[in-house]
Chain A
Amino acid sequence: MSSPTLALRAPRFAAALPYLALIGGIVSLSMGTSFAKSLYPMVGAAGTASLRVGLSALILLAVWRPWRSRLTRADLKGLAIYGVVMGLMNLCFYMSLATIPLGLALAIEFTGPLTIALLNSRKLIHFVWIGFAAMGLALLLPFDGNVQALDPVGCAFAAAAAVFWALYIVFGKRVSHLPSGPTVAVGMSAAALTVVPFGFATAGLELLNPSILMLGLIVAVVSSALPYTLDMIALKGIPKRTFGVMLSGDPAVGALAGLLFLGEHLSGLQWLAIAAIITASIGAVLTSPAGEDQPLRDPAAPA
């Protein structure tokens, strides 16, 4: 016989489960990305990106077996472009992580989907969110000696990742009529074909070292497969808008993960910049027209 207390608690737990799943997904992604950074001394940024994308592609191919779906030549062309953009987005993001802190790379990268969300801004309030995003970016620029100078190359890679993330949303919408599982599997495979050559060019055959492959598999599971699965659970019980608001906190969680796992200390201004970009993101999500897609996270999103 079940206890009455447990019976009372069960519905509460069921209601909280999607939120726990979403928080778990965000934390898993940040931890996976922090862990990925520990592979840099062994295989470099491009090597790490190759391991994550390549092994994620293999996992997704095994799970979804996209060869069983009927895809036309036009579908495959669309998926190839989507995959190449996804690959370059991941590569640029991991390259940026080599020289700038995780939280800041994420914050800069967030401006990509934010731009897409605000591109057709016709509401008065939108200019406030654009203002917050611009303020966040401007606060990261080294105008004076008080600011911890960020590596310009790392910032440029994060900005490129933002552009590719925006393009990824655009090209992702073009293949959105296809079933999502096989789409991500084929897209991730195209991404792997784009990124893996860079990995071999920098890390060589070290990428195939079994211990490195094992670490890469952990990165692929913790920063791709697990967050994706948890997001799917979360999306079933959380309204899309709330989901978007909670995902807006990604850069802050990334900054905390960077602090805890990588010892990346940020200055007050840099925390303020992250807060400004998160505010812009939350504002954009809350004031976007109802029913519009929230473009702030996708299964293949870089972080």
Chain B
Amino acid sequence: MKTLLACLRTPVLNIAAGGLFGLILAVLMRLAIQRVF
């Protein structure tokens, strides 16, 4: 866990992790909206 947190403090990995997090959020959001409507 400590290593993971340390990795996120480097800009490149922080941006990569953020981008991945955003894409997953977008997919989940689209799926949720498709289910509802």
Using a CB–CB distance below 8 Å, which chain A residues touch chain B? 118-124, 126-139, 143-144, 146, 268-269, 272
Contacts of A126 in B (CB 8 A): 14, 18
Q: Helix, strand, loop or mixed for chain B's interface? A: helix
State whether A138 touches B18 (Cβ < 8 A): no
User: Within B1-35, which residues are at the interface with A (CB < 8 Å)?
Assistant: 5, 8-11, 14-15, 17-23, 25-27, 29-30, 33-34
Complex Cα distance, B14 from A133, in Å, reads: 13
Complex Cα distance, B4 from A94, in Å, reads: 43
Q: How many A-B residue pairs have CB under 8 A?
A: 78
Contacts of B15 in A (CB 8 A): 118-119, 121, 127, 130
Among B5, B19, B30, B34, point to the contact of A139 (Cβ < 8 A): B30
Among A120, A124, A129, point to the contact of B5 (Cβ < 8 A): A124
State whether A135 touches B25 (Cβ < 8 A): yes
Closest partner residue, chain A, to B26 (CB atom): A138
Among B8, B23, B26, B34, point to the contact of A127 (Cβ < 8 A): B8
State whether A135 touches B23 (Cβ < 8 A): yes
State whether A129 touches B18 (Cβ < 8 A): yes
Q: Can you give 30 contacting A-B residue pairs, CB < 8 Å?
A: A118-B18, A119-B11, A121-B14, A121-B18, A122-B9, A124-B5, A124-B8, A126-B18, A127-B15, A129-B18, A130-B14, A130-B15, A130-B18, A131-B19, A131-B20, A133-B22, A134-B18, A134-B19, A134-B22, A135-B22, A135-B23, A137-B22, A138-B22, A138-B23, A138-B27, A139-B30, A146-B30, A146-B37, A269-B29, A269-B33
State whether B23 touches A134 (Cβ < 8 A): yes
State whether B9 touches A139 (Cβ < 8 A): no
Complex A-B, nearest 9 residue pairs according to Cβ-Cβ distance, in ascending order: A130-B18, A134-B22, A138-B26, A131-B21, A127-B18, A131-B22, A135-B22, A135-B25, A135-B26
